[in-house]
Structure 1
Amino acid sequence: MDRLAPFFERFSLAAQMFYSGLLCGSTGDQVSEHAGHLHVLKKGRLKITRPDARQIVIDTPSILFFPRPRIHRLHGPMQEGAELVCATIEFGAGMLNPIIASLPEPLVLPLDALPELAPTLQLLFTEAFAESPGRQAALDRLFEYLFVLLIRSAMNARLIDSGILMGLSDSRLSRAIEAMHQYPGTSWSLEHLAQFAGMSRARFAVHFRQVVGMTPFDYLTNWRLGVAQTMLRKGNSLKLIAAAVGYANATALTRVFTQRLGMSPSAWLARSQIHKD
């Protein structure tokens, strides 16, 4: 079974290239309400500053990914500059996608550590530094494909040491996680999930938390609410959504949604539509 398929079935992936070229000097603040930022350094030296963290300096061709909205600035040397291509990445209507939640802030990977990405990166750079018809559309799609390859590589090579990607790489936990992903509307019990993993209830609960970083039911709740957000954006009714993600009725879903996100589903939808427009 394709372990990543449920994420791309349940959450919409959208990339938009917004910069390509030689950066000599500093950018303004890089920030957005819902999207992360994916920067690919082809050549040169790049400094990244953040208001609440230590600066980062990258001097080898690398991928720099801020999976969640974070204010940061990019700085290239004034003389030789830094050659890079940048895009925003939105993976889901909200920020409850477990992949996004599991990634470090930021993720920095040298390109030579990701040889399987080389053909796609070559296409990306060719499009970015030319002025061919359809360039923007081509780059947006290439960034989406690059993101899929990046997540695949992170999971297969265990580049991430916690979170859902580690859980999916665990031969026992993955079966229980895949069941939750495929059937969020099921009334899951700890015993039932432990059976998928071939473990006792107690051992399953402890091992899940050690690997994924949260309890099985906290993970299940976040998955359900993330799916609910996507369904809200598609215009589904609360009654239909509640049944699809395992809640008895719209009131029960609204209560959990508000507790986790600090606002009701209708308020969240109105806010997300404002920022989308």
Structure 2
Amino acid sequence: MADRLAGLLRHYSLSARVFHSGAFCGQHHYAAPHGYIHLVRRGPITARSPVHEDLLVTEPSLLFYPRVASHRFVAAPGDTAELLCAEVDLGASTGNPLAMALPSMLLIPLADLPGLGPTLELLFAEAERDQCGRQAAIDRLCELLLIQLLRYLMDGRLGATGLLAGLADPKLARAITAMHDAPQTAWSLEALAAQAGMSRARFAAAFKDAVGVTPGDYLADWRMNVSCTLLKQGRPVAVVADRVGYGSPNALARAFRVRMGCAPRDWLAQQRGDASLSGS
């Protein structure tokens, strides 16, 4: 099977920063503008958030908030839990479709993640040692853990509809991966169906049923997402147009107005203004 993550990771950076490892007592509120991953090595703790009901976590577990979601952990008086916590960024703020397809929160017992066992053991061991390079090591290990978790989630058919469902289907995954890897290609429905090894009609129906949108709409959205990423990187509009398969800056601008409601330069100015306000 083609690498289902390569194209996504090429356009959207994945990062993690571990900020706590060890005993946890009392309570703590997590409300920064990014995602979080929490590894509960020993409970009990109660997780509270507007995005889910109160959860009492008693066994070693992974709690994953892939997007911004305010939440609070509470340990009862006299209880001391043990946690490893990290800030994570999957590119949700810049439109990574995989980050947007994930549930608001996932709670998975570590016993259900045997494939992540060696990475978890090394992560916990590094976190316990006070050695040079510790922070860099545990951050990189947490990023590896995230990639392994995404593999697990793609294979687990978490939802009946959406990008994860499409990537879980071997045939559809080939077409989706082709779009991710080469947004500049003039993909026709016939060409995408050929990537999937399906007839045109069967592919169109299967894609819509699994992903929830037509192949053409998904490709248009993906091109817009990549365009936004490239514009934020400072690429000229002409270069962006070429990278995402539009024949000219004017063609990109027309598509951009349809999808985003404004011209590329206006959108970029707005993004820079928002960033200045958030940093002030």
Structure 2 portions without partners, runs of 5+: none
1:153 deviates by 1.9
Give CA deviations for 1:22-43 in whole Å, capped at 9, x if unaligned: 2211112x2233x211111111
Counterparts of 2:159 and 2:141, CA distance in 1? 23
Whole-Å separation in 2 of the counterparts to 1:252 and 1:41: 49
Instruction: Name 2:55's counterpart in structure 1.
Output: 56
Q: Secondary structure of 2:261's match?
A: helix
Q: How far does the alpha carbon of each residue in 1:124-158 deviate from its partner, in whole angstroms, 9 at most, with x for none? A: 21222333222221121111010011111222344
1:99 corresponds to = 98
Amino acid at match of 2:233: K
Deviation at 1:10, TM superposition (A): 1.7
* Number of aligned positions between the proteins: 275
Amino acid at match of 2:31: V
Query: Aligned in 2, Cα 1:54/1:156: closer, same or farther, shift over 3 Å?
Result: closer
Distance 2:261 2:39 in 1: 37
Q: Could you tell me how far apart the structure 2 residues matched to 1:160 and 1:124 are? A: 29
Query: Corresponding residue for 2:42?
Result: 43
Change (3 A) 1:22 1:120: same
Paired amino acid for 2:38: H
1:193-238: CA deviation from partner (whole Å, max 9, x where unpaired): 2232233434322211221233223322332222223222322112
Question: Do 1:45 and 1:59's aligned partners in 2 also have CA atoms closer than 8 Å?
Answer: yes
2:264 counterpart of 1:265 = no
User: How far did 1:169 drift?
Assistant: 2.6
The CA deviation at 1:96 is 1.6
1:32 to 1:190, Cα distance in 2 relative to 1, 3 A: farther
After superposing the two structures, state which structure 1 stretch, 3-12 or 184-193, moved more: 184-193
Q: How far, CA to CA, are the matches of 2:91 and 2:276 in structure 1?
A: 13
For structure 1, the residue ranges without an aligned partner over 5 or more in a row are none
Q: Do the aligned residues in 2 keep the contact of 1:242 with 1:253 (CA within 8 Å)?
A: no
How is 1:36-185 mapped onto 2 (pairs within 5 angstroms)? 36-51=35-50, 53-92=52-91, 94-159=93-158, 161-185=160-184
Counterpart secondary structure, 1:17: strand
The residue identity in structure 1 corresponding to 2:114 is P
Q: Is the 8 A contact 2:94 2:228 kept in 1?
A: no
Residues 227-236 or 146-155, more deviating: 227-236
Distance across 1 between alignment mates of 2:94 and 2:142 = 19
The residue that corresponds to 1:31 in the other structure is 31
Using the TM superposition, name which of 232-241 and 128-137 deviates more: 128-137
**Distance across 2 between alignment mates of 1:272 and 1:142:** 29
State the match for 1:14 in structure 2.
15
1:21 offset after TM fit, Å?
2.1
Q: How does 1:167-206 map to 2 (within 5 A)?
A: 167-206=166-205
Inter-CA distance 273–9: structure 2 relative to 1 (3 Å threshold): farther
Question: What is the letter of the counterpart of residue 57 of structure 2?
Answer: I
Contact 1:12 1:93 in 2 (8 A): no
Contact in 1 for aligned 2:23/2:80 (Cα 8 Å): yes
Preserved contact between residue 95 and residue 101 of structure 1 (Cα < 8 Å): no
Separation in 2, partners of 1:155, 1:77: 35
Structure 1 residues 135 and 77: CA distance shift in structure 2, 3 A: farther
What CA deviation, in whole Å up to 9, does each residue of 1:83-128 have, x standing for no partner?
Answer: 1111111123734212212211211111111111111111221222
> TM-score, normalising length from structure 1?
0.88
- Residue in structure 1 matched with residue 253 of structure 2 by the alignment: 251
Q: CA deviation at 1:60?
A: 1.1
Tell me the C-alpha RMSD between the 2 structures: 2.6
Q: Return 192-201 or 1-10, whichever deviates more.
A: 192-201
Moved more, 37-46 or 19-28: 19-28
Residues 1:210 and 1:273: Cα distance change in structure 2 (over 3 Å): farther
On the 8 A contact 2:18/2:87 being kept in 1, the answer is yes
